[in-house]
Amino acid sequence: MKKNRFLTTGLFIFSAIVTTSSFAAISGQVDVKLNISSGCTVENSKVEGNMNKFGVLDFGKSASTWTNVLTAEVASAGNGGDLVVTCDAGVSQFNVSVNGGERGNRTLSNATDHVSYNVYQDAARSKLYDLNTNVPFTPTAASTPVKVPMFGAIAANASAVSDGNYTDTLLVTVSF
């Protein structure tokens, strides 16, 4: 009987220890939603990871100094053509804004040097895309592609910069 009582007491203590190491859990719901309505798409773009890639503004190659303005035009990421936006019938206007790039001031950078550039709305490079400022575009008809011109310029540079690849990443936002 003593042996039985000892065994019962031991099992009771063991059970108490095991049950006190349990944890609590709380469950709840998260609503997930999607509203499909009129909108716009950027044609010829690609998706890399979780980011849309609209295109490339490639100034090409240059010596460490240059006497002429270096120019470039955005080529779409998909096929190298124009940056084009197409909107549904319910969208009468969309806006495009361009930020200042990784450093906020539109500079290309390598490990040691920076080269400033600007982004323009026209081939004459007279209408600047101001930082984070909406530029309105109006489609002529529903589902009609609208070219979004984007040109770059780097001023002449008499001060030598170091060799290397200079890069920056602009965030272009299309809102409607």
Q: Is residue 20 part of a domain?
A: no
- pTM of the entire predicted model: 0.79
Q: Write out the two tokens for 10.
A: 């031991």
The answer to whether position 134 is within a domain reads yes
What is the domain extent for residue 46? 40-175
Phi first, then psi: give them for residue 122, nearest 5 degrees. Answer: -140, 155
What is the count of structural domains for the chain? 1
* CATH (domain of 69): 2.60.40.1090
Domain-located, residue 91: yes
Contact (CB, 8 A) for 70 and 62 = yes
Q: Which of 103, 110, 107, 134 is nearest to 118 (CA)?
A: 107
26 in any annotated domain: no
Query: Over pLDDT 70: what percentage of the chain?
Result: 88
CB distance 55 to 82 below 8 Å: no
C-alpha dihedral over 45, 46, 47, 53, to 10 degrees? -60
Is the alpha carbon torsion for 146, 57, 150, 103 positive or negative? Answer: positive
Token pair for residue 6?
């000892």
Per-residue pLDDT of the chain (176 residues; tens, 9 = 90+): 555 555 455 545 555 555 555 789 999 999 999 988 889 999 989 999 999 999 999 999 999 999 999 999 999 988 888 899 999 999 999 999 999 999 999 999 999 999 999 999 999 999 999 999 999 999 999 899 999 999 999 999 999 999 999 999 999 999 99
Query: Is residue 15 in some structural domain?
Result: no
In a domain, 3, yes or no: no
* 18 found inside a domain: no
Residues in Cβ contact with 63 at an 8 Å cutoff, skipping those fewer than 6 apart? none
Are 84 and 40 contacting, i.e. CB atoms less than 8 angstroms apart?
no
Element at 110 (helix H, strand E): none
| 33 domain-assigned | no
